[in-house]
């Protein structure tokens, strides 16, 4: 039985991995910030040395854009130094390291889907801190999988849950119309994490559902599938709330996975339909 240690176990991806993992195949060690602060190197080493997992999965992070911009030190402390600490202990105990990253490592000024070979040039503190985390993982352990995904939704608070709540509250919903990405189900991402960590295909991967859409189109599809009659208004990014300001074009091309030919994500509409059916 493979022993996996999930950091950020209470987040949407952490929960999805637990839901997808077969308990007959995996022993799961779960920690979140209340149990273990990954920026505390001594605590990380103590937990790793005592429990000696086969795989360390880092889903933890400060992801709120406003919080990152307002507290730069915290963003780098968790997103970069935390990743470094986990990768160092992974090397020490000979564990595989899975680092969850983001489309925000790109500046969003392109017009073609980003591959793993495109230069990462983040402009938000969140993106910069996550890229620093990627670089630490590369530096400190060779047995790593860096997984970038896009617009991840799932159990807990997300774009999908907030939109549905506003619809239920009969609000007029303003949604950004000039941001384009690849909405990705946490369940589908969790399936990929469990697949790839069982291989020796180390490296950086783009892992997002197929296809692309604007946030406005995504919102309309959510409401259609959920059969919600809500008033929705398209707004440009400069009129959006600060928490909604993301790169304008952040579509990820799963270039390496497609080249390898042994794993394929579903289309984002199919994954969304499946998710909303299960959430009923």
Distance of CA 272 to the CA centre of its chain: 16
The residue ranges of every structural domain in the chain are: 2-158+182-212+250-271
pLDDT tops 80 at residue 238: no
Helices 186-196 and 268-279, packing angle to 10 deg = 110
**What is the Cα–Cα distance from 207 to 218, expressed in whole angstroms?**
18
Give 236's pLDDT tier (boundaries 50, 70, 90).
confident
| H helical segments located in the chain | 12-20, 41-51, 65-70, 72-76, 82-93, 125-140, 159-168, 186-196, 215-225, 255-260, 268-279
**What is the Cα–Cα distance from 84 to 144, expressed in whole angstroms?**
12
Structure tokens at 124: 């938000």
**What is the Cα–Cα distance from 24 to 37, expressed in whole angstroms?**
29
Identify the CATH assignment for 2-158+182-212+250-271 out of 3.90.1150.10, 3.40.50.720, 3.30.479.30, 3.40.440.10. Answer: 3.40.50.720
Overall average pLDDT of the 201-222 stretch = 97
**What is the Cα–Cα distance from 176 to 25, expressed in whole angstroms?**
42
Q: With CA atoms as reference, report the closest residue to 7 among 139, 133, 159.
A: 133
pLDDT tops 60 at residue 242: no
| pLDDT tens-digit series, residues 58-109 | 999 999 888 999 999 999 999 999 999 999 999 999 999 999 999 999 999 9
Enter the DSSP assignment of 120: P
* pTM, two decimal places: 0.95
């Amino acid at each position: 039985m493979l022993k996996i240690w999930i950091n950020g176990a209470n987040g949407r991806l952490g929960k999805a991995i637990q839901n997808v993992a077969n308990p007959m195949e995996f022993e799961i060690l779960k920690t979140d910030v209340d149990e273990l602060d990954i920026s505390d190197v001594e605590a990380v080493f103590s937990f790793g040395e005592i429990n000696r997992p086969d795989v360390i999965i880092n889903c933890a992070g400060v992801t709120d854009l406003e919080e990152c911009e307002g507290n730069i030190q915290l963003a780098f402390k968790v997103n970069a130094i935390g990743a470094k600490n986990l990768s160092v202990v992974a090397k020490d105990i000979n564990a595989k390291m899975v680092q969850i990253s983001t489309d925000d490592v790109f500046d969003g000024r392109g017009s073609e889907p980003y591959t793993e070979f495109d230069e990462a040039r983040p402009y938000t503190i969140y993106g910069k801190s996550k890229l620093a985390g990627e670089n630490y993982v590369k530096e400190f352990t060779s047995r790593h999988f860096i997984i970038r995904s896009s617009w991840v939704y799932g159990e807990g608070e997300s774009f999908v849950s907030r939109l549905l709540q506003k619809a239920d509250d009969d609000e007029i919903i303003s949604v950004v119309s000039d941001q384009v990405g690849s909405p990705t189900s946490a369940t589908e991402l969790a399936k990929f994490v469990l697949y790839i960590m069982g291989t020796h295909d180390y490296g950086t991967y783009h892992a997002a559902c197929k296809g692309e859409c604007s946030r406005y189109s995504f919102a309309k599809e959510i409401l259609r599938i959920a059969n919600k009659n809500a008033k929705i208004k398209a707004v440009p990014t400069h009129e959006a709330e600060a928490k909604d300001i993301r790169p304008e074009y952040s579509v990820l091309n799963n270039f390496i996975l497609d080249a390898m030919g042994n794993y394929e994500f579903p289309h984002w509409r199919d994954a969304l339909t499946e998710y909303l059916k299960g959430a009923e």
